[in-house]
Structure 1
Amino acid sequence: MTTDILSGILIPFAGTSLGAACVFVMRRNSMNRIVQKALTGFAAGVMVAASIWSLLIPAMNQSAELGKLAFLPAAVGFWLGILFLLFLDHIIPHLHMGAETAEGLHTQLKRTTMLVLAVTLHNIPEGMAVGVVYAGYRMGNGDITAMGAFALALGIAIQNLPEGAIISMPLRSEGMSKGKAFICGVLSGIVEPIGALLTVAAAGFIVPVLPYLLSFAAGAMIYVVVEELIPEMSEGAHSNVGTLLFAAGFTVMMMLDVALG
């Protein structure tokens, strides 16, 4: 595995870790609700744009030989990704920010543990997305360039910065020490490089079904956005800040993908 692939895979994880480190520099133990909405909206915008430009469009381009049915692998993979995250959502015990009732299988896990699991759950498709794109690049797929893969990794890293803070700060407000809150924030993102590395290692098996896997990752990310991030950025008193930052995140990721891809 080349250095550029390895460093690209680790970029999103670095974003999560830097975001989690905010717990050491912010004076308050909890994050302002408006700021949290803004950061969640930004992350959602990045994920939607990445799903379209970095995953769904390349998936359809790689199926061009199917003619008018070029959408078929993308549509099938997209729905498989949606259903996969729906399945995980029902079996993994987790607690969304601001919620009182946990989702998934009933368990006696601590509240803080389930908060971490909620973020870990939606980091899974991000790791898959980076891994699938770098696997395609590793095997010489002409539709995936080094800069295009880097653009996706950088975009996810940017949206992971606020995500790291969003998990570590609430854990601090739950009474956890700064060190433990930071470690939990970092661990919530560890599934990304692990999943990406495993995907790249299996690149030879992945390339024949790459359009399906690209769109699978897109479906999984869209599920997270609609099921979790949009409700979080919209709950409580009416505010347009989440919507505006969603547009900002979407624009940033779109520009990165087009400019670098």
Structure 2
Amino acid sequence: MTPPKIDPTNPKALLHELFDDDRWVKDQFAERLGEPILDLCEALAACFRLVPLLNEAANRTGTIRAAFVAGFVYGVLDDILISTKLLLTCKLPASGNVMRQVVEGIAMPILCSADSPATVRQATKKKNEVRALYWERLEQDDTCTQRHLALSQLEWNALALGVSAGVVERLRLAKNHYNIFTHCGKVTIASRMALEQVGAAYVDGHFDLAKRGGDRNELDQRIGLCRVLPPFIERMLAAITPPAAAPGATAQHAEPA
């Protein structure tokens, strides 16, 4: 299918493009990559089925710590959906940027789930190491909880948090992959160029048959992630689920420290 022509020097044409839903692009993806798209939806749906349990546990616990854990996990799933919608209109830089948030969004609830102090700043020549409850510092908007630091903090505390070095490495590789889409460079330029038409560039969403292999790889990456997320979500659920009260015991509401 020939992409519709857009005159980016015409304000009315740009206004029409802003409200266009890129249906023709999505139809091309559905026709040529419908199977992996369905696989992704099935894997992501299995993750979303665990969300009510997570929210119920967070509500029963009633702590800020539990609310952060549940909120970040939900954000991971929502961001995967948003990122894929962007991918299906070939807006690769924006899609990759959201996926980087997914990686950071996996690290942050693990850090929040800890009920004991963790290393939030490593020692330097001028400053000592800082250990604190991550969720408390997050509530205080401490700069040590900026999202781009989360993966390093997860690595520093991996042993105490029960996170394997292999998991940390896979997250770091994923973040490095999506970094190339989130910062200007050769990849972001190439994402807007027509591979089989020298000098031709796309405006907004497009489908380029020559890029189908790369699009398939991006879908496969998301499918693989979604298939390993349920155990992660179940672990976060266990971390915030309040212990069952002993027979005859009086339930007490735990206030945040």
- As a proportion of its length, which structure holds more helix? 1
User: TM-score, normalized by length of structure 2?
Assistant: 0.33
User: TM-score, normalized by length of structure 1?
Assistant: 0.33
